[in-house]
Amino acid sequence: MSKRNQRVARRQEEVVSGGWQAQKSASTRGLIIEAAIRCFVELGYAQTTTTRIAEMAGLSRGAMLHHFPSKIDIVRAAVDYLHAKRLKAFRRAVAAIGPDEDRVRFSVEAYWQQVNHPWFMAFFELSVAARTDAELRSILQPAQAAFDEAWHQTAWEVFPEWKDNPEAFDLALDLSRCLMEGMAVSFMTHDPTERDRRLLAYLEEKLRELAPSAQPARSRASQ
């Protein structure tokens, strides 16, 4: 093999090796982030340490610190991960709504599933901790603003007819989020009851009243 061919072969090997190393690094980072999220949910933010995260991920603390030098670095990555996952799941759910299906019903159910998922519980845990942690709050605030904007845009795509009445649309979104997120948080201290089902039915009813055009009035209570 000529020297030129040898150099080409070495470069190809380096590219393959570099690609594999990048994939391995990304996989390890993902493992650490998911372990951190489990710690937030199962242990709480205050009890989450780099040692606990490493144990949850099945890694040595040194290996973990190679990717994330501190707890706050992991938190920053976890917040981005949580928002990306929640948005992707919501978009997938609303994209499955057929043209002849009840968009109000399906959208409420899609977000209800969101707020009853561990991803939301992890974010709520971080939000509570941020009340007295300025550094954590500085991470959450811009991330939450970006999430709100993306979620708002996704909702516009599902209900384009609301664009002529943005105030009513914002009210519908705020009502939905505040009610469902509050209900999900309350489940930390009590199990779901028939009253919760009636609240969701009431929410659908109010959303239909706010809608610029009549929506099929098939409430949960009638099912």
pLDDT per residue over 46-100, tens digit each?
999 999 999 999 999 999 999 999 999 999 999 999 999 988 888 888 888 887 7
Structural domain range at position 1? 1-69
| Residues 195-212: tens digit of each pLDDT | 899 999 999 999 999 988
Tell me which of 69, 94, 129 is where a domain ends. 69
| Residues 156-191: tens digit of each pLDDT | 888 888 888 999 999 999 999 999 999 999 988 888
**Which pLDDT value is given to residue 11?**
52
**Which pLDDT value is given to residue 7?**
52
**Which pLDDT value is given to residue 159?**
85
Please tell me whether residues 109 and 202 are part of one structural domain.
yes
Q: Cα(129)–Cα(116) distance, rounded to whole angstroms?
A: 20
**Which pLDDT value is given to residue 213?**
65
Q: Cα(222)–Cα(167) distance, rounded to whole angstroms?
A: 29
Please tell me whether residues 119 and 202 are part of one structural domain.
yes
Please tell me whether residues 107 and 216 are part of one structural domain.
yes
Please tell me whether residues 18 and 127 are part of one structural domain.
no
Q: Cα(59)–Cα(46) distance, rounded to whole angstroms?
A: 21
Count of domains in the chain?
2
Residue 2 has pLDDT above 70, yes or no: no
Task: Report which of 133, 152, 147 is spatially closest to residue 75, judged by C-alpha positions.
Answer: 133
Residues 115-124 have a mean pLDDT of: 93
The confidence band for 127, taking pLDDT boundaries of 50, 70 and 90, is very high
User: How many Cα atoms sit within 13 Å of 189 on the Cβ side?
Assistant: 4
